[in-house]
């Protein structure tokens, strides 16, 4: 493990503790901790909260994995060879209350190739998935990430916001998964065909640590505002149907899911992002002019939330 990988891994573990302790205090129930080993190399620590008072299902996972990719899969990434090392934190929180949005974030560091002939980069981001649209919540969430980017030498909020809107898009539904946030990948290497940007990894590392450390500032105020709002059965039904869109994206398009499954990752930790309960109904459409229809309009036409 390289020195940078060691630093990143420890940062992710510390961040996992901070996030789960904060969320557990809000919820009133602790996360279950599950430490696991990966036979092919590495392992991880998963912290999961199910059937909480505030969080219906949530997980904050940290992993450190090593090994070899298949030849076909290795060709999808920069660098030579099939050897790889990856460490990262990935989290998902599905609140019980439909007025409280789902949130996702992940930050990761990867090295590919043999020692002395490897390439390394960071990736990650955070996005918000409301079921009831509160523009002020979206503005707050985006403002935190804009502030993080503005403090960085290597990140542009406009570019990362656009990338997030394009990445968390469900083509077969022609709508976004949520109201976005920021997303980046291959930051630190010259890979324009993949969206990558050559940059000093020291600067990139500082940006990633600032972003990870800002997650609670971006989300907790929103959760606190919405966790106890009264809701109707119709709003709960809408939430369960919107969770169906979340499942569709994660199983069909999400890179993290694909990477985990194709590198013999731990299935329970990879699929903990899937919400429960969830609902699909044939031909389900919101009533014209309803707040549900208003949300769909925003998801079908991404907008700017901060100047």
So which residues are the catalytic ones? 104
| Integer angstrom CA distances of residue 294 from 135, 265, 289, 291, 298 | 11, 39, 7, 5, 7
Where is 106: in which H helix or E strand? strand 102-112
Strand, coil or helix: what is 20? helix
Cis before residue 277, ω within 30 degrees of 0?
yes
Q: Residue 305 CA to chain centroid, in angstroms?
A: 19
Q: What's the Rg (C-alpha) of the chain?
A: 19
240 exposure class (CB count in 10 Å sphere: 0-12, 13-18, 19+): middle
Can you tell me the distance from the alpha carbon of 6 to that of 3, in angstroms, rounded to the nearest whole number? Answer: 5
CB 247 within 8 A of CB 271: no
Indicate the burial class of 230 (C-beta count within 10 angstroms; 0-12, 13-18, 19 or more). Answer: exposed
CA–CA gap between residue 127 and residue 138 (Å, rounded): 10
β-sheet with 42-50: strand ranges across: 32-37, 42-50, 55-68, 83-95, 102-112, 119-129, 180-187
């Amino acid at each position: 493990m390289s020195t940078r990988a060691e630093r990143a891994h420890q940062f992710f573990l510390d961040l996992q503790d901070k996030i789960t302790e904060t969320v557990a205090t809000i919820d009133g129930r602790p996360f279950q901790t599950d430490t696991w080993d990966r036979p092919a190399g590495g392992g991880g620590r998963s912290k999961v909260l199910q059937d909480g008072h505030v969080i219906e299902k949530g997980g904050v996972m940290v992993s450190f994995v090593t090994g070899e990719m298949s030849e076909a899969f290795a060709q999808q990434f920069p660098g030579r060879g099939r050897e790889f090392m990856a460490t990262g934190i990935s989290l998902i929180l599905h609140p019980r209350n439909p007025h409280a949005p789902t949130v996702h974030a992940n930050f990761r560091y990867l090295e590919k190739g043999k020692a002395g002939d490897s390439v390394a980069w960071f990736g990650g981001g955070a996005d918000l998935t409301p079921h009831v649209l509160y523009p002020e919540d979206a503005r707050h969430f985006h403002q935190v990430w804009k502030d993080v980017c503005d403090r960085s030498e290597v990140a542009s909020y406009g570019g990362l916001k656009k990338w997030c809107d394009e990445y968390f898009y469900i083509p077969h539904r022609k709508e976004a998964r949520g109201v976005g946030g920021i997303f980046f990948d291959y930051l630190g290497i010259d890979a324009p065909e993949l969206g990558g940007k050559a940059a000093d990894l020291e600067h990139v590392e500082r940006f990633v640590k600032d972003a990870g450390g800002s997650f609670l500032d971006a989300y907790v105020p929103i959760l606190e505002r919405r966790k106890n709002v009264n809701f109707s059965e119709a709003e709960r039904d809408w939430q369960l149907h919107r969770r169906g869109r979340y499942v569709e994206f994660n199983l069909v398009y999400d890179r993290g899911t694909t990477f985990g499954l194709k590198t013999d990752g731990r299935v329970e930790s990879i699929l903990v992002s899937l919400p429960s309960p969830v609902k699909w109904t044939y031909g389900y459409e919101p009533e014209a002019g309803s707040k549900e229809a208003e949300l769909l309009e925003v998801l079908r036409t991404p907008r700017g939330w901060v100047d």
